Amino acid sequence: MTATNALPERPQRRVRGRVSFTTVISWMLRITIVVTLLASAVSSVLKDRYSIDQWFDLVAFGITIGSVYALIALGYTMVYGVLRLINFAHGEIVMAGSFAGFFVAASLDSTGALNRYPILGFAAMLAIALLVSGGIAVLTERFAYRPFRHAPRLAPLICAIGVSFLLQQSFRGFFGTGLRSYPDPDWLMPPVSIFGFDVPAVQVLVVSSAIVVMVGLYLIVHKTRMGTAMRAVSEDVDVATLMGINVDRVVTFTFALGGAVGGIAGVFYGLVFKQVHFFMGFTPGIKAFGAAVLGGIGNVPGAMIGGIFLGICESVAPALLLDGFGIPAPHQMRDLVAFSLLIAVLIFRPYGIFGERLARRRG
């Protein structure tokens, strides 16, 4: 066919102002979720089953456990930000730190030193926990993840799941399947008055310490040379290498820092729930991963805010939402509520709280 006989190409028309069926369904789903949640919340408040003191206790506990989730989420988001790897063994690294803190606390409590020297005892628990968890994280990166760094993404993901089971079963073999209880030192027993409400001292200790750790981590990532190198590797590994950055050193430091923060979170988790066992890292690890996604995976401030938001929802939402539907014992379904709200929030913001802004900046 000659050029003169060829049919002219039709220009592509852009249909403006037309809304797709999928968009309509998506917005209808969002509106339905919002209306349902608001109706349930209003019904729960009108029933007046909870006093102001009880609501304050729920919010305080939510901030406490949310601070722990935020610390765990930081480990996920830092590793993902540098390697684009979901470290599913991070929950077990948190569990290792909780065990290390327990053994230090138990030995100090048996001699009475935990009560006589509360600051030194608490510092020793955190120090040993961060060393153990940070060391395990570094070994995991060196022998499990580094050989798969340039492999297809499915290979390191499967390796991460395998490392998770390896750590679980190793601690099960070494320490058994029984529950171990964190000691209750005298300095954690009396409540602390905040705005006229009594708050357990352990919650005040955990929240204040978590804030210090999160601020310190933020300063390390954004105000130090190593933090600048971490952000450079996160942006482009090849360009960072050409600029003279030792990528292996940066990755090792990232795992060490994330593991250390996870170990501290494990001690806080043990202090709040008082129990340690080999499977304890799975559930908070999954929740913290959800918090990292909620805040925008790879974004440090987003992980902090996502963890605290998830903790508050987990604590407050069962009383605020499920009571409105007349469900008995709503607090037994807090995990269901937490993940349901996580899904609902991601429907509105698929990139997380700060993920969309980060994606635009990189684009």
CATH number of 250's domain: 1.10.3470
In angstroms and rounded to an integer, the radius of gyration of the C-alpha atoms of the chain is 24
- Residue 32 belongs to a domain: no
- Residue 6 belongs to a domain: no
What's the CA gap between 236 and 180, in Å, rounded? 45
pLDDT of residue 339: 78
What's the CA gap between 256 and 203, in Å, rounded? 26
- Residue 39 belongs to a domain: no
Per residue in 202-250, pLDDT (tens digit) is 999 999 999 999 899 889 988 999 999 998 988 888 888 888 899 999 9
Residue-range definition of the domain harbouring residue 181: 51-362
3-state secondary structure of 181: strand
- Residue 72 belongs to a domain: yes
- The answer to whether residues 284 and 299 touch, using CB atoms and an 8 Å cutoff, is no
When pLDDT is cut at 50, 70 and 90, the band that residue 335 belongs to is confident
- Residue 99 belongs to a domain: yes
- The answer to whether residues 289 and 206 touch, using CB atoms and an 8 Å cutoff, is no
pLDDT of residue 363: 44
Per residue in 158-185, pLDDT (tens digit) is 899 999 999 999 999 999 888 999 988 8
pLDDT of residue 3: 45
pTM: 0.85
The domain total for the chain is: 1
- Residue 289 belongs to a domain: yes
- Residue 67 belongs to a domain: yes
Would you call 178 exposed, middle or buried from its count of C-beta atoms within 10 A (0-12, 13-18, 19+)? exposed
- Residue 83 belongs to a domain: yes
